[in-house]
Amino acid sequence: MIEEQNPWWISKDLVEENETYRRYKESPIKWIPDILDKISLTPFSLNFIFGPRQVGKTTALILLIKRLLDRGVNPKSVFYFTCEKIANHRELDQILEQYIKMKNRERIGSSYIILDEVTFPKDWYRSIKFRIDNGDFKNDVLILSGSLSIKAKGEIESFPGRRGNGKTLIMYPLPFSQYVRLFLNLPEMARSIEDSVSLAKKNIQFRSKIEEIFETYLITGGFPNSIKDYVIEGKIRSTTISDFISSVILDINKLRRSETFFKLAVKSIIERTSSEISFHNLAKEVGNIKTLISYVEFLQNLYFLKVLLAIDPNSGIPLPRKERKFYFIDPFLYKALANWVFTNVPDATKLAEAIAVSHLSRIFSTFYFKRNEELDIIVKDGEKFKGIEVKYGKVVRKVIGKIKDFIYLSRDLVDEKIVPTSLFLAFLDIPQSLETSEL
């Protein structure tokens, strides 16, 4: 059984016959996920890789295996297993026992143990924890991927003091700065807001092409399958959407949540994207606040949703009792989920704002403000706060509290403080994956 999933044990070149690798190589559009350079490969390491469904985690793992083999690693020291078809921790432990016996028989001192979709088996963590405590992996690197329902169930909390050099990594959809470079050769990117604005203005000659690519990004988002569909067929296939929704339903059922309440929460959030709203008002369709909050937290645990708190612009203190703003993190999520719950995808202005929020949130703490005036996004950059307005219509300049540093993102206007949203995001260096300490 384990030999079937590890054909490189026969010949390292057989990794190219892996179905995931074959689809990757045959795709007309592809990239090397930056998460490959962030995984700890120093023994002992227990790495976790999380991310939304179908974001490309399995492809990243197979590409990592190819990289290890190309570096001359002993093929039998690389063990991969997808756990989707095993029922519980006992079956998982039997699989690990098979590999450990083979490893000892081959006198392999250190190995790379990669368990994909490890959350499928019930109580999966019991086997991993036991093996770590037993010293079976003391010279190894473990890489475990799965749904973010791990966080929702608190299963990862079973590993305090058992991580070694390991990291917890979140893999997000491809950001626009990397997306645009799949189609256009652009110069360097910037990590600061000011430098991104400067680069956007220096490269204004690319505006028309970047805007065209951004319009496509508003449709596909950063999910590999939707991108590939659009490149090949000029649209996202219905099967891509239905497959994604099926994977979401799988998580809902696994955690014994109500599909009905989940859909009501999703519909309510989509229809109020970019609007400030209280949990009380958001909960009207769901039934009660406690239920609504639990499903908002569930969406966050799946890394589908970004929630912005209001902030006091004078003190810089968040205001958790005020209304919040809710955004799905990627245009594909809006398209797939809106189709599922029978509502409309937000217009281009709201989607652009959602993209700006989700991108900036990967590298900055993000908030919003509304009292007499509204400020779409406030980012904390070091000790300073900066205001960002996403306005596809008329731009109104303002000063709010201590926030006097503003950037205005427009559809096409350009001057000292106004820059097209597409150019700004094209030159802002947003990573696809992030290391986190929150789990």
Q: What is the mean pLDDT of each run of 10 residues along the chain (439 residues)?
A: 93 94 95 97 96 94 98 97 93 97 96 94 93 96 84 72 93 98 93 91 94 97 97 96 95 90 96 93 85 93 94 89 96 98 96 96 92 82 87 65 81 78 96 82
Phi and psi angles of residue 264, each rounded to the nearest 5 degrees, phi first:
-65, -40
Q: What pLDDT was estimated at residue 398?
A: 61
Same domain, 87 and 162: yes
Same domain, 276 and 418: yes
Chain segment 125-141, per-residue pLDDT in tens = 999 999 999 999 999 99
Residue 176 token pair: 């626009």
Looking at 181-285, list the stretches that DSSP marks H as alpha helix, in order from N- to C-terminal side.
Answer: 193-202, 207-220, 224-233, 238-254, 259-271, 279-282
Cα 416 to chain centroid distance, Å, stands at: 33
Cα–Cα distances in angstroms (integers) from residue 147 to residues 48, 58, 153, 306, in the given order: 10, 11, 11, 17
Same domain, 106 and 193: no
Phi and psi angles of residue 274, each rounded to the nearest 5 degrees, phi first:
75, -5
Whether residue 439 is contained in a domain is answered as no
Same domain, 158 and 216: no
Whether residue 436 is contained in a domain is answered as no
Q: What pLDDT was estimated at residue 436?
A: 85
Same domain, 107 and 217: no
List the CATH number of the domain containing 15: 3.40.50.300
CB of 273 closer than 8 Å to CB of 344: no
Same domain, 292 and 413: yes
Same domain, 198 and 344: yes
Q: What is the DSSP string of 93-133?
A: HHHHHHHHHHHHHTT-SS-EEEEETTTSSBTHHHHHHHHHH
- Among 409, 415, 345, smallest CA distance to 377 is for 409
What is the signed CA dihedral for 121, 122, 127, 128, rounded to 10 degrees?
A: 70
Question: Domains in the chain: how many in total?
Answer: 2
CB of 60 closer than 8 Å to CB of 51: no
Same domain, 34 and 158: yes
- 382 torsion bin: left (phi>0), alpha (psi -120 to 50), beta (else): left
Domain extent for 363: 176-431
Please identify, among 151, 171, 191, the residue that sits at the C-terminal boundary of a domain.
171
Same domain, 23 and 106: yes
Same domain, 129 and 211: no
Q: What pLDDT was estimated at residue 191?
A: 87
Q: What pLDDT was estimated at residue 393?
A: 63
